[in-house]
């Protein structure tokens, strides 16, 4: 039976949303329904989060032609690809389950064209040229703050899909700061104190993520389903990773560090729509150009996005 861990419960109670969270618990299961399996089979992308061999948490995206995600049974997801060798999670996922323990991962699949999404958490094993994930949680999510987009896939021999460069650092460059300020979407990975991983989506109008310095970001936590899976994990373990996709070029900006929830009423009141704030301290940066062969259309912004001050 689904349940919340102590961090999630503590945040729900502090937010005075425990009753709503109890109702939302019905959206957490252990198996993939047939309609969800069909949804996954149609997707060209899934975001996956977890910890690398050094314990640093990262988020990344895996892509493929529709059909590369399959649920052969209600408790299993197969992914017919691995991260790129340049990806911060390449090493740990390429060796998942052999010879040691499986890698605990959190995942989220989104369909921007219809604003549908679902989260799936479990234990990943290397399976040939891909992954098999034994599922622990399957979570229905609301479509708020998800921008509408259509996609196309570049041909495998297209130079724009293969001319890849990698930039590492410990802080955001000026260009990377501009990318973050202009983002309307990013994905965040967290883990509990037991190592169970989760990946989630954050969206808003461009500018909803503030760059406070080259090593500090802040964004609003808007009204949601009151589960607080991300903030609950952060209460127990501040390690976090985010990936900011460039929808037009396929570049992925990966950041790893720590995050904390800000509850100060005066600070929150300065940010339209914010119920809380999250501050992220950047410790490691990896930018990978041409990380994805997907190219997405200009966004149709969600009507739920609060204005940006």
List, for residues 183-215, the tens digit of each pLDDT value: 999 999 999 999 999 999 999 999 999 999 999
Q: 302 in a domain, yes or no?
A: no
Q: Is the pTM of this model over 0.95?
A: yes
Residue 273's pLDDT band (boundaries 50, 70, 90)?
A: very high
Domain of 99, in residue numbers = 16-296
Q: 62 in a domain, yes or no?
A: yes
Domain count, the chain: 1
**CB-side exposure of 60: number of CA atoms within 13 Å?**
28
Percent of the chain with pLDDT over 90: 91
146-180 pLDDT, tens digit each: 999 999 999 877 777 678 999 999 999 999 999 99
Secondary structure class of 287 (helix, strand, coil):
strand
Q: 283 in a domain, yes or no?
A: yes
Could you give the CA distance from residue 176 to residue 119 in angstroms, rounded to a whole number? 28
Q: Residue 96 maps to which CATH number?
A: 2.30.110.10
Could you give the CA distance from residue 81 to residue 291 in angstroms, rounded to a whole number? 13
Secondary structure class of 19 (helix, strand, coil):
helix
Q: 122 in a domain, yes or no?
A: yes
Nearest CA-CA partner of 133 in 173, 77, 70: 77
Q: 209 in a domain, yes or no?
A: yes
Q: 183 in a domain, yes or no?
A: yes
Q: 51 in a domain, yes or no?
A: yes
Q: 253 in a domain, yes or no?
A: yes
């Amino acid at each position: 039976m689904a349940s919340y861990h102590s961090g999630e419960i503590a945040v729900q109670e502090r937010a005075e949303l425990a009753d709503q969270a109890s109702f939302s618990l019905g959206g957490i299961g252990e198996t993939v329904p047939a309609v969800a399996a069909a949804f996954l089979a149609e997707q060209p992308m899934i975001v996956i989060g977890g910890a690398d061999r050094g314990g640093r948490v990262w988020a990344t995206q895996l892509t493929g032609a529709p059909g590369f995600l399959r649920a052969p049974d209600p408790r299993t997801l197969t992914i017919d690809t691995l991260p790129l060798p340049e990806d911060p999670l390449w090493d740990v996922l390429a060796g998942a389950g052999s010879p040691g323990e499986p890698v605990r991962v959190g995942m989220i699949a989104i369909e921007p064209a219809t604003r549908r999404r679902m989260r799936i958490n479990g234990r990943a094993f290397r399976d040939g040229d891909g992954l098999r994930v034994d599922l622990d949680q399957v979570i229905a999510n609301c479509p708020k703050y998800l921008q509408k987009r259509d996609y196309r896939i570049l041909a495998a021999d297209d130079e724009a899909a293969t001319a890849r460069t990698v930039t590492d650092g410990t802080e955001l460059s000026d260009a990377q700061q501009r990318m973050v300020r202009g983002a309307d979407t990013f994905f965040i990975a967290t883990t509990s104190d037991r190592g169970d991983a989760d990946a989630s989506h954050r969206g808003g109008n461009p500018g909803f993520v503030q760059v406070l310095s080259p090593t500090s970001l802040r964004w609003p936590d808007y009204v949601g389903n009151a589960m607080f899976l991300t903030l609950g994990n952060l209460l127990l373990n501040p390690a976090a990773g985010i990936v900011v996709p460039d929808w037009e070029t396929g570049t992925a900006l990966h950041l790893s560090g720590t995050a904390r929830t800000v509850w100060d009423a005066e600070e929150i009141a300065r940010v339209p729509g914010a119920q809380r704030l999250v501050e992220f301290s950047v410790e490691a940066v990896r930018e990978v150009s041409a990380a994805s062969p997907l190219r997405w259309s200009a966004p149709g912004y969600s009507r739920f996005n609060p204005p940006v001050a």
